[in-house]
Amino acid sequence: MWPLLIASLCIRGIFTIDRYWIESVAGLDVLGAYVLYIGMATAVLSFLDAAVIVFYYPKLILSAKDGDAHLFSSTMRGLTLNVVGFTSFLSLACYFFGWGMVLWLDNSIYVDYFYILKWLILSIALYSLSMIPHVGLYALHKDKHIFFSQIGGLGIFVMSYLVMRIAKVDGVLSVLWGMCNAFAIIFVWKTLAYVLGFGLIKVDDCDAKA
């Protein structure tokens, strides 16, 4: 289980380092706006997990254990449709709710930096979509792809930020670009690992997860 623990810590690392960098490049006032907006954006992922993923996850584990490739594939299709639909709906809801809250708070910092929420919604949407192949890979006992993709995501986040700062890009945008790049890489890596790997294995050869 340690590879999955390290993979989870890499994601947590992204959501920790970002705050330190925002404070260092923009100050505490902007950090306050950032924390508010990232709280809204990550709520999308929390709702998605509670409303969709927890219902499909046991079915995928069971179908992998039983070697039922047809059920596994149909369950993955259902998971994909629901994740895409819920992510789209929740992302739009988050955007309009966020704008309404900004108008209600009537704080110039929140208004000036509202673009932060837009970028965070995009990055969280990418991460949410990456949960589709993530769950499939986990059910098929392909943990190494989860491990390497999330380590790679953290590395891309750090490198993207540093490169853009060297290129004199605005500090806040550098953090936001870094997050989007990181979650895009994670999404593409997991998707390719699942699509290419699933066609080369037999579901009945997979071990069940505890």
- The mean pLDDT of 195-209, rounded to a whole number, is 54
Model pLDDT for residues 100-138, shown as the tens digit of each residue? 988 898 888 999 999 999 999 999 999 999 999 999 998
Is 13 part of a structural domain of the chain? yes
pLDDT at residue 38 in the model? 95
pLDDT at residue 142 in the model? 86
- The mean pLDDT of 189-199, rounded to a whole number, is 83
Please state, in angstroms and as integers, the Cα–Cα distance from residue 171 to each residue in 15, 19, 30, 56, following that order: 16, 12, 11, 39
Is 163 part of a structural domain of the chain? yes
Cite the DSSP H helix spans in 51-114.
54-66, 69-105, 108-112
pLDDT at residue 207 in the model? 47
pLDDT at residue 133 in the model? 94
**Number of domains making up the chain:** 1
Is 130 part of a structural domain of the chain? yes
Greater pLDDT, 68 or 43: 43
Is 61 part of a structural domain of the chain? yes
Mean pLDDT, all residues of the chain? 89
Decide if pLDDT at 201 tops 80.
no
Q: pTM of the prediction?
A: 0.89
Cite the beta strand spans of the chain per DSSP E: none
Element housing 152 (H / E): helix 143-166
pLDDT at residue 7 in the model? 87
Is 181 part of a structural domain of the chain? yes
Model pLDDT for residues 4-61, shown as the tens digit of each residue? 788 889 999 999 999 999 999 999 999 999 999 999 999 999 999 998 999 998 888 8
Q: Please give the Cα distance from 117 to 102 (Å, whole number).
A: 11
Name the residue range of residue 168's domain: 2-205
Is 115 part of a structural domain of the chain? yes
Is 210 part of a structural domain of the chain? no
